[in-house]
């Protein structure tokens, strides 16, 4: 026998299911009036500093079908690289946003400011990115990934640098489609499978 | 949104996630998971500020009936939701055993007949005009939370020939950092459908699945009013040792 460890195991995840909207964004489910408004409706308030951008995309399952029932959450720093709640952070940047794939087209849209680079524990910098968490029916534990930007210097980012198959780095880069417009598609499986993270 | 003071001290990285504590992503018995589970390995590394920080929600976000699903849809004490009245309660802790105070817990569920109030749910059972099916609350300073609701009904779903979901309540918890984010489901002690459910069965460790089953808790039940079920939740913790660097810049 040895001494007993006190560490607890994490509660197991379960799929968010097809009706995740009821709990997280009830107006999307057609459920009005319980809350004044859905939580996480917007990532920024009017007047946020920095470049306001719109990121559009779809989440494709292994058959190439754009999922109609996924929900996403994003979390990010402000334009100066400070996370909301920290001293000096832009009070107009909420940083957290909830959005869903459209019921008909499967497309999602996130409007926010482009984040700044953020420090690492080792004293380096992470390239500008938005953390993303994806849940849906059929996803048994929420998927973590990141949106980086193809028009930023990503060369020394510690996460991107760890991707062995360099051809997969591209799956984390939002593509510029116009002024302040980006496209970010997510593939759950297949040759273009998005790099999902465990961190 | 933020009613809490900013945190400057490096509390250490998140403890790496023990994936064996969780369901398998791919399970042919849960058919939708087949095309929705990544096939490549996840990229594992130490957490960063993006996972170690997260949104905070204050009491100003919440309304007084938000954690009372019996009344929060009708908002009228004379028109409560139909069904078996229950108190769902418990604590949110992290892996180190510390309570997680002031964190947002959201729930959603079917009504007593097993029907969700969602544009996509067309099950035969009727909607209850007095039941919405969502609730939310903040844990108190000791990590406790409570919801007053009704016991949801079991319902059939298209998967294998005749699959039924056991009675369950969906739960979403934030913790204090984005990397702690968790969605799970609470099942009810004694429900024979748990052992027939392919979604519950995605959790391969029996002892871990048992942690999703809430026991009847008569000590919290109120005579002549409601039964109670206890559901404690454990989120990821932080690794902090005396040898850990404490970077002021973080």
Residue B243 placed within a domain: no
For every residue of B199-240, DSSP letters joined together read TGGG---HHHHHTTEEPB-TTT-BTTTBEEEE--EEE--B--
Residue B70 placed within a domain: yes
φ, ψ of residue A96 to 5 degrees: the values are -110, 135
ipTM rounded to 2 decimals? 0.97
Residue A195 placed within a domain: no
Q: Please name the member of B170, B199, B250 whose beta carbon is closest to the beta carbon of A121.
A: B250
Determine the structural domain holding residue B116 and report its residue range: 48-233
pLDDT of res. B240: 79
B108 close to A (CB below 8 A): yes
CATH (domain of B74): 2.60.130.10
pLDDT of res. B246: 55
**Which residue from A52, A197, A187 is spatially nearest to A106, judged by alpha carbons?**
A187
For all residues of chain B together, what is the average pLDDT? 94
B32 close to A (CB below 8 A): yes
B116, B145, B187, B229: the active-site residue = B116
Read off the pLDDT of residues B75-93 as tens digits, 9 standing for 90 and up. Answer: 999 999 999 999 999 999 9
CATH (domain of A96): 2.60.130.10
Residue B242 placed within a domain: no
Task: Looking at the complex, report in whole angstroms how far the Cα of residue A179 sits from the nearest Cα belonging to chain B.
Answer: 26
Number of structural domains chain A divides into: 1
Residue A37 placed within a domain: yes
Residue B184 placed within a domain: yes
Q: Please name the member of A7, A13, A121 whose beta carbon is closest to the beta carbon of B96.
A: A7
Task: Looking at the complex, report in whole angstroms how far the Cα of residue A178 sits from the nearest Cα belonging to chain B.
Answer: 27
pLDDT band of residue B11 (cuts 50, 70, 90) is: confident
Residue B33 placed within a domain: no
pLDDT band of residue B244 (cuts 50, 70, 90) is: low
Active site residue B30: no
pLDDT of res. B52: 97
B155, B187, B229, B236: the active-site residue = B155
Nearest-by-CA chain A residue for B208:
A12
The answer to whether A149 and A128 are in contact (CB under 8 A) is yes
Residue B119 placed within a domain: yes
For every residue of chain A, DSSP letters joined together read --PPP-PPPPPPP----TTHHHHH-GGGGT--SSSSS-TT--SB-TT-SS-EEEEEEEEE-TTSPBPSS-EEEEE---TTSPPTTSTT--TTB--EEEEE--TTT-EEEEEEEPPPPEE-TTS-EEPS-EEEEEE-TT-SSPEEEEEEETTS--TT-HHHHT-SSGGGGGGGEEEEEETTEEE--EESSSTTPPPPEE-
Residue B250 placed within a domain: no
Number of structural domains chain B divides into: 1
Determine the structural domain holding residue A94 and report its residue range: 20-187
B89, B168, B236, B238: the active-site residue = B168
pLDDT band of residue B8 (cuts 50, 70, 90) is: very low
Chain B residues with CB under 8 Å of A138 CB are: 30, 32-37
Residue A10 placed within a domain: no
Inter-chain residue contact B37 with A139, CB threshold 8 Å? yes
Residue B3: pLDDT above 60?
A: no
B208 close to A (CB below 8 A): yes
Residue B204 placed within a domain: yes
Averaged pLDDT for residues B51-64: 94
Nearest-by-CA chain B residue for A94:
B1
Per-residue confidence of chain A (199 residues) as pLDDT tens digits? 899 998 999 999 999 999 999 999 999 999 999 999 999 999 999 999 999 999 999 999 999 999 999 999 999 999 999 999 999 999 999 999 999 999 999 999 999 999 999 999 989 999 999 999 999 999 999 999 999 999 999 999 999 999 999 999 999 999 999 999 999 999 999 999 999 999 9
Inter-chain residue contact B43 with A196, CB threshold 8 Å? yes
pLDDT of res. B128: 98
Question: Tokens 């920080």, residue?
Answer: B53
Residue B248: pLDDT above 60?
A: no
pLDDT of res. B194: 98
Residue B250: pLDDT above 70?
A: no
Give the pairing type, strands B168-173 and A96-100: unpaired
B151, B165, B176, B238: the active-site residue = B165
Residue A194 placed within a domain: no
């Amino acid at each position: 026998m040895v001494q007993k460890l006190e560490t607890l195991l994490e509660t197991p995840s379960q799929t968010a299911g097809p009706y995740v909207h009821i709990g997280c964004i009830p107006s999307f489910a057609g459920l009005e009036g319980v809350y004044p408004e859905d939580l996480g409706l917007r990532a920024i308030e009017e007047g946020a500093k920095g470049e306001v951008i719109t990121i559009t995309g779809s989440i494709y399952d292994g058959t190439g079908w754009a999922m109609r029932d996924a929900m996403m959450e994003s979390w990010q720093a402000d334009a100066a690289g400070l996370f909301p709640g920290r001293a000096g952070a832009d009070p107009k940047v909420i940083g957290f946003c909830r959005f869903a794939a459209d019921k008909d087209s499967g497309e999602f849209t996130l409007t926010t400011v482009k984040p700044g680079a953020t420090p690492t524990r080792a004293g380096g910098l992470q390239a500008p990115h938005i953390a993303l968490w994806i849940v849906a029916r059929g996803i048994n534990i929420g998927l973590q990934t990141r949106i980086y930007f193809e028009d930023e210097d990503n060369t020394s980012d510690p996460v991107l640098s760890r991707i062995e198959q360099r051809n997969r780095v591209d799956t984390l880069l939002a593509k510029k489609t116009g002024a302040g417009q980006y496209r970010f598609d997510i593939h759950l499986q297949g040759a273009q499978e998005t790099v999902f993270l465990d961190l | 949104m933020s009613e809490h003071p900013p945190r400057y001290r490096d509390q250490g990285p998140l403890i790496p996630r023990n994936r064996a504590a969780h369901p398998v992503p791919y399970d042919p018995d849960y058919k939708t998971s087949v095309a929705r589970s990544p096939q490549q390995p996840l990229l594992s590394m130490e957490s960063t500020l993006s996972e170690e920080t997260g949104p905070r929600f204050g009491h100003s976000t919440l309304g007084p009936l938000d954690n009372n699903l019996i009344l929060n849809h009708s908002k009228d004490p004379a028109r409560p939701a139909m069904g078996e009245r229950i108190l769902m309660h418990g604590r949110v802790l992290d892996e180190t055993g510390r309570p997680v105070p002031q964190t947002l817990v959201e729930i959603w569920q079917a009504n007593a007949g097993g029907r969700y109030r969602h544009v996509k749910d067309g099950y035969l059972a009727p909607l209850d005009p007095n039941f919405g099916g969502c609730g939310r609350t903040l844990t108190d300073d000791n990590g406790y939370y409570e919801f007053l609701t009704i016991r949801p009904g079991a319902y059939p779903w298209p998967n294998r020939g005749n699959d039924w979901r056991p009675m369950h309540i969906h739960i979403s918890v934030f913790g204090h950092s984005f990397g702690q984010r968790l969605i799970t489901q609470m099942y009810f002690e004694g429900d024979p459908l748990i052992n027939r459910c392919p979604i519950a069965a995605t959790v391969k460790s029996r002892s871990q699945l048992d942690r999703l089953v809430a026991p009847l808790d008569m000590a919290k039940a109120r005579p002549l009013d409601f039964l109670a079920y206890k559901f404690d939740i454990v989120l990821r913790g932080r690794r902090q040792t005396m040898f850990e660097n404490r970077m002021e810049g973080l």
